Structure 1
């Protein structure tokens, strides 16, 4: 693949990275620079990509510029007790048109995902999530997406593709490969009741900020079933992430968003992770750049601790629990390796949605089933399959 649309990381930042102690990420990540050339990526587990694109941003122009502030903070961090199998590929600059930027990003992501390399996208406005989604077209599979956001970003069907209407384009435009969408952290007063009702009719999963903050463990099974994770910095409260002109007083704390990032990393399914809407002109003492760098650190750590226990392997590695409910029989699988749980929907092998037949769940879902309560996620998934 031709990578000429990727601008190398600035040499001064490379010099900064090389000044860091030996065990920091700046010393351990392979960085695309003029001096070093393009890194060998086919043996990498994770690839970092910046995207300088703000033409479809609503209310946050300037987002995606000066991404080296994030890199500077990331390179200072010490690695954990895990291999740093990461490359920084540089930054996709704005194309002649915004469609050129989308095409460059989508093509690159498709190449990486096909080669089992997980892209970490730092940008840029959240409409880039649409380009991320289109990267899966060539994989010929349906995908699940999780958005960490205080809004659904549906817009209206007539709207152009923007950072606040990209979801309607994902839902409506062909080819339609979206199987499930989950929103984590929406704030009701930013979303109309019509939008909330629409997502419910589509059998999508939505979780209010308060729900997640009160029980952060809700995020883990959602991430376990995701292919794409898109984080809007608007989901984080202004006090913790001021570098976003759309930031508001309420939102996730820095600790919570790092926990969510780690849950995304440990998911065996997540194959792309994006953080959007960073605007350096509003960053106070590089606070948001530091937080984003820590989110990336936790995601990398999570990837290195993946259990690889999605239950299609040996039956000896799982315990199966059969729960009769009314005229249904629910099969639950518990991993002996990680203690994580799945629910099963019986489908024939020719069903194109076979990969969605195992639904990540919690022990509490199993307990609810034994009390003759069918878990809500099981019902929603079944309705989408039939």
Structure 2
């Protein structure tokens, strides 16, 4: 299989890249160009892909997606002390239909996942999360999706897919590969009570904006268990972005969204990271710079990954058993990183989604609360999802 659907990075970006200092990211990336074609992907760990598709945006009125400003700013940044090789594979253009674009994106992501390359996807409307999820059909039997968004994006599953309703299609369409869905940064007044109730009924996780802003470390265990991370730029407060991007006076600030991106990068499970709903406009340097910095922090996180396998390594971990009524909760703590997990038991007599004992990332606070007789909510929801 080859990358037949990718168009080269624009000549405008490449011309500006020629003027950069040799230490900048633009000089260290492997870039898909018209003159030289696709770069060699041997030893490449992270690949940037633009997707110029936004026709399923509920507010679509013909605007085109252009990512040149983001690339120009990103190329100007300096890398950290990184050991991973990066590539920019260019853009997937709009197909004759949105379904054609979906097919091109799904095919491209599947190839990258098979090559163990992490794609950073720049969009385009957030419904592009759906074909990325479908790219995992042959990769992972169960998939966890994290949506950094002010909305749940459940929508009306009986209607055609839109950027505010793609989750309904993910939940209802076979094969049923979704194990968990988490929303980080939701704002209650943007979500109906019916949607909030449905999130609870499905045992999905939802973290309010204020909750995360008050304790940003809540995001780390959620990201540690994620395969797909989808960021809607509307989750960022209006004061942090330029005019075309302004959505709400409340939202994450630049520091918070970059911290969340770094947590996603650190996670060993995260195999794709997408940033969506970018509204390009002339002289919009601030939003482009923020997106570039979100990408930078995700890459920084990937470079800080530490391989850990608790169940196979009994030397570098401590095990704690906590009794709560009739339940025995088993916690593990890594001596290497200080991270915590809680065991989800395998139940042989029920219809398990999980086929063996598995570990759910958690926090030290989950352990201390369990010691006081309180069952961690993340464990309860994962346990219930495993048995219904």
Shared fold, TM over 0.5: yes
Deviations 1:138-195 (A, max 9, x none): 1251100000010111111221101011011111111111000000011100101110
Distance 1:229 1:275, change over 3 A: same
Distance 1:73 1:354, change over 3 A: farther
Q: Distance in 2 between matches of 1:61 and 1:253?
A: 29
Trace 1:220-259 onto structure 2 (pairs within 5 A).
220-242=220-242, 244=244, 247-259=247-259
Q: Distance in 2 between matches of 1:140 and 1:23?
A: 38
Are the aligned partners of 1:63 and 1:124 in contact in 2 as well (CA < 8 Å)?
no
For 1:190, the equivalent position in structure 2 comes to 190
Deviation for aligned residue 1:44: 0.8
For 2:370, the equivalent position in structure 1 comes to 369
For 1:322, the equivalent position in structure 2 comes to 321
Deviation for aligned residue 1:241: 2.3
Deviation for aligned residue 1:236: 0.4
For 2:279, the equivalent position in structure 1 comes to 279
Deviation for aligned residue 1:117: 0.6
Q: Distance in 2 between matches of 1:382 and 1:63?
A: 44
Are the aligned partners of 1:154 and 1:195 in contact in 2 as well (CA < 8 Å)?
yes
Q: Distance in 1 between matches of 2:341 and 2:63?
A: 39
Q: Distance in 2 between matches of 1:356 and 1:181?
A: 20
Are the aligned partners of 2:209 and 2:252 in contact in 1 as well (CA < 8 Å)?
yes
Q: What number of residue pairs does the alignment pair up? A: 385
Are the aligned partners of 1:51 and 1:64 in contact in 2 as well (CA < 8 Å)?
no
For 2:379, the equivalent position in structure 1 comes to 378
- Match of 1:381, SS state, is helix
For 1:87, the equivalent position in structure 2 comes to 87
- Match of 2:240, SS state, is coil
For 2:105, the equivalent position in structure 1 comes to 105
Trace 1:113-152 onto structure 2 (pairs within 5 A).
113-152=113-152
Q: Once superposed, which parts of structure 1, at least 4 consecutive aligned residues long, lie more than 4 Å away?
A: 60-64, 243-246, 348-352
Corresponding position: 1:172 with 2:172: yes
For 2:338, the equivalent position in structure 1 comes to 339
Deviation for aligned residue 1:15: 2.7
- Match of 2:378, SS state, is helix
Deviations 1:184-213 (A, max 9, x none): 011100101110011001000001111011
For 2:311, the equivalent position in structure 1 comes to 312
Deviation for aligned residue 1:246: 6.5
Distance 1:307 1:325, change over 3 A: same
TM-score, normalised relative to structure 2: 0.95
Q: Distance in 2 between matches of 1:244 and 1:109?
A: 29
Deviation for aligned residue 1:62: 6.0
Gaps spanning 5+ residues in structure 1: where? none
Deviation for aligned residue 1:12: 3.1
TM-score, normalised relative to structure 1: 0.96
Distance 1:81 1:53, change over 3 A: same
Deviation for aligned residue 1:312: 3.5
- Structure 1 stretch 39-48 or stretch 142-151: which is displaced more? 39-48
Are the aligned partners of 2:261 and 2:297 in contact in 1 as well (CA < 8 Å)?
yes
Distance 1:62 1:307, change over 3 A: farther
For 1:59, the equivalent position in structure 2 comes to 59
Deviations 1:7-63 (A, max 9, x none): 101233223223212221001110000123211124211010000001101225566
Q: Distance in 1 between matches of 2:23 and 2:224?
A: 30
- Structure 1 stretch 328-337 or stretch 57-66: which is displaced more? 57-66
Q: Distance in 1 between matches of 2:215 and 2:63?
A: 31
Gaps spanning 5+ residues in structure 2: where? none
Q: Distance in 2 between matches of 1:30 and 1:330?
A: 47
Deviation for aligned residue 1:382: 0.6
For 2:48, the equivalent position in structure 1 comes to 48
Q: Distance in 2 between matches of 1:274 and 1:297?
A: 13
Deviation for aligned residue 1:328: 1.4
- Match of 1:316, SS state, is coil
- Match of 1:360, SS state, is strand
